[in-house]
Amino acid sequence: MAKERGRPGGAMRFVVKPFHRWLRRDDKRRRAESRQGEQTMAVIIMEGVLFVALLATGGALLYWIVVNFTPAGVWLQQTRNRKRIDRAAELACPIHGRHTNDQLVRLATGEQVCPDCYRETAHG
> For 36-40, what is the mean pLDDT?
74
Q: What is the pLDDT of residue 4?
A: 54
Q: Over 90: is that where the pLDDT of 14 sits?
A: no
> Can you tell me the distance from the alpha carbon of 68 to that of 61, in angstroms, rounded to the nearest whole number?
11
- The per-residue pLDDT for range 15-37, each reduced to its tens digit, is 666 555 555 666 666 676 767 76
Higher per-residue confidence, 24 vs 61: 61
> Can you tell me the distance from the alpha carbon of 80 to that of 84, in angstroms, rounded to the nearest whole number?
6
Spatial contact of 100 and 91, defined as CB atoms under 8 Å apart: yes
Mean pLDDT score across all residues of the chain: 82
Higher per-residue confidence, 10 vs 46: 46
Coil/strand/helix, residue 36: helix
